[in-house]
Amino acid sequence: MSIRENAQLNFLGMCARSPYDFQLSNLSKKEHHFFQGLERETSWVSNPWKIEPNMSRLSTVSIARSQYRARARCAGAIIAVIAASAAAQTTAEKPWRNSVVSDPDFFPIAVWLQAPANAPQYAELGINTYVGLWKGPTDEQLRTLARHKMRVICDQNDLALRHPDNAIIIGWMHGDEPDNAQSMSGHWKNDADAANRAWPGTTPKTLERWGKWGPPIPPADIVAGYERMRRRDPTRPVFLNLGMGVAWDAWHGRGIRTNKPEDYPEYARGADIVSFDIYPAVAREPQVRGKLELVPYGVRRLRTWTDDRKIVWNCIEASRISNPDRKPTPSEVRYEVWASLIAGSRGLIYFVHQFKPKFVEDSLLKDAELAPAVKAINHRIHSLAQVLNSPTMEGAVRATGADTGEPVDVMVKRGHGDLYLFTALSRSRGEGVVFELTESAARAVRAESLEDERVIPIREGRFEDRLQGYGVGLYRIILSP
């Protein structure tokens, strides 16, 4: 909808519900010109100016002049609407002057809370962003990242604010996982009254009854922190990472807010980029363990909860984390990445810490199996950055399981004169997948696999391929001239 149409609709909503109509012939010359202009602006709506037959001229003019003054005020509102719409359009085109987050050539692939000294090794794997700096940012941390051209999203401390044009800093961040239960000795400072006040309507507890863990941070506190960061620097987005409750309502780590998904739309109001983490490949909980589809499920929930008005990112498990018995396989990481992108994620954050059987902060760099797999995944994403950042062609392709008839996740983008089709089978059992192209893709002649260079003919707008359980298919759809 154009700015002019927005203004007209807003004007009609404010002004066109008057119970009185009148004749232009009864108005002064100035009033007459005003309403002639008004009629031109609203001529696409059936709204004639007329008067009841038995109404006197005095009443008519009195009513008309009253409405003139009211509608003149509305005209001022139209100007405000136009100005606001223009400002919103400009903001949408480039909302943050000091960030590349919305750059069509940049796809953010990040790593969580790593030492800046390792930036060259992570860059070699295709990482272009750090999220979080331990007890930072400090001058030394920022200098190190700048030396290696590694961007960062970090805390908005006084030191960082003293360098407002530092191109390395592309965003500010909240503390991690405020939706989870918070330490009573840490966040709540052993103040049981403060913990009780945070969530009105819940049963108050003593410090002893709270125990080690208090309630989550309330969404209102996150929104207030967001507004403070925006006032200090509106040129960068604010990032918020949430916990596994985004994808699993019964996550007991939320304490008194377990099974309360209604909190999440409120949390999302406190950020420009909203992310979450869940690690099903290494999870201990039976409700999560092995259910890789929870990763794209959480992405879709965040998009729904934010009405697609926020940028959604998500975390990807790339270590054994706290599971000494297993780590994610390269194929599991690959599925989680591409299923997330197909679900609408616009940024990825690898979690690479290992806590058991021993602590290794940068375990991915030491993993001879996962590191090259992650590098290959990231290289593919960077090569398709412009395509992935382009609008999705909704409904261009329908994908269903050949054996089950169940829907298969699919995303279609346009780029380089052809179409790109990305698909992920979000179940553990492999099967053939039937792709049916709609009229918008009617010129398709063949599908070329981006992974193994296979060429699959498209006949009558249809082709088929086989995917393994939690498998991924990436295709370029060649169109006829």
Structure confidence by residue, pLDDT tens digits, 95-104 = 799 899 989 9
Do the Cβ atoms of 342 and 336 come closer than 8 Å? Answer: no
Q: In angstroms, rounded to a whole number, what is the distance separating the alpha carbons of residues 97 and 405?
A: 47
Q: 429: how many CB neighbours lie within 10 A of its CB?
A: 11
Is residue 66 over pLDDT 80? no
3-state helix, strand, coil in the chain (%, to 5): 40, 20, 45
Contacts of 21 (CB under 8 A, 6+ apart): 48, 49, 50, 51
Q: In angstroms, rounded to a whole number, what is the distance separating the alpha carbons of residues 167 and 152?
A: 9
DSSP 310: S
Q: 114: how many CB neighbours lie within 10 A of its CB?
A: 25
Give the confidence band of 441 by pLDDT, cuts at 50, 70, 90.
low
Q: In angstroms, rounded to a whole number, what is the distance separating the alpha carbons of residues 53 and 21?
A: 11
DSSP 189: T
| 414 beta partners | 419
Q: In angstroms, rounded to a whole number, what is the distance separating the alpha carbons of residues 258 and 433?
A: 37
Hey, what's the torsion of the CAs at 32, 33, 37, 43, to 10 degrees? 30
Q: What is the pLDDT of residues 285-328, one digit of tens each?
A: 999 999 999 999 999 999 999 999 999 999 999 999 999 999 99
- Span 397-479 CATH architecture: Sandwich (2.60)
109-181+216-388 and 397-479, same CATH topology: no
pLDDT of residue 18: 35
Query: Please, where are the H alpha helices in 328-409?
Result: 330-343, 370-383, 385-388
Do the Cβ atoms of 472 and 423 come closer than 8 Å? Answer: yes
Give the confidence band of 189 by pLDDT, cuts at 50, 70, 90.
very high
Q: In angstroms, rounded to a whole number, what is the distance separating the alpha carbons of residues 345 and 297?
A: 11
Question: Which two three-digit tokens encode residue 416?
Answer: 């380089």
Task: Tell me the average pLDDT across 222-232.
Answer: 98
Contacts of 51 (CB under 8 A, 6+ apart): 21, 22, 23, 26, 60
Q: In angstroms, rounded to a whole number, what is the distance separating the alpha carbons of residues 320 and 364?
A: 10
The mean-pLDDT minimum among 8-12, 125-129, 242-246, 256-260 falls in 8-12
Rg of the chain taking only CA atoms, in angstroms: 28
Higher-confidence position of 130 and 69:
130
Q: In angstroms, rounded to a whole number, what is the distance separating the alpha carbons of residues 421 and 154?
A: 34
Q: In angstroms, rounded to a whole number, what is the distance separating the alpha carbons of residues 316 and 328?
A: 10
Q: In angstroms, rounded to a whole number, what is the distance separating the alpha carbons of residues 306 and 346?
A: 14
Hey, what's the torsion of the CAs at 435, 437, 441, 445, to 10 degrees? 60
| Sign of the alpha-carbon torsion through 228, 231, 232, 238 | positive
Higher-confidence position of 33 and 230:
230
Q: What are the structural domain ranges in the chain?
A: 3-93, 109-181+216-388, 397-479
- Span 109-181+216-388 CATH architecture: Alpha-Beta Barrel (3.20)
CA neighbor of 463 nearest in space, from 421, 407, 411: 421
Give the confidence band of 481 by pLDDT, cuts at 50, 70, 90.
confident
Task: Tell me the average pLDDT across 171-186.
Answer: 98
Q: What is the pLDDT of residues 350-397, one digit of tens each?
A: 999 999 999 999 999 999 999 999 999 999 999 999 999 999 999 999
Is residue 442 over pLDDT 60? yes
CA neighbor of 442 nearest in space, from 475, 479, 399: 479
Do the Cβ atoms of 282 and 326 come closer than 8 Å? Answer: yes
Q: In angstroms, rounded to a whole number, what is the distance separating the alpha carbons of residues 449 and 470?
A: 17
Q: Which position has the token pair 């829907």? A: 407
E strand segments, 344-451: 348-351, 397-401, 409-415, 418-424, 431-437, 444-449
Burial code (b: 16+ CB inside 10 Å, e: under 16) for 151-179 equals: bbbbbbeeebeeeeebebbbbbbbebbbb
Q: In angstroms, rounded to a whole number, what is the distance separating the alpha carbons of residues 330 and 185?
A: 39
CA neighbor of 358 nearest in space, from 317, 324, 329: 324
pLDDT of residue 102: 85
Do the Cβ atoms of 153 and 132 come closer than 8 Å? Answer: yes
CA neighbor of 296 nearest in space, from 337, 339, 328, 265: 339
Task: Tell me the average pLDDT across 477-481.
Answer: 90
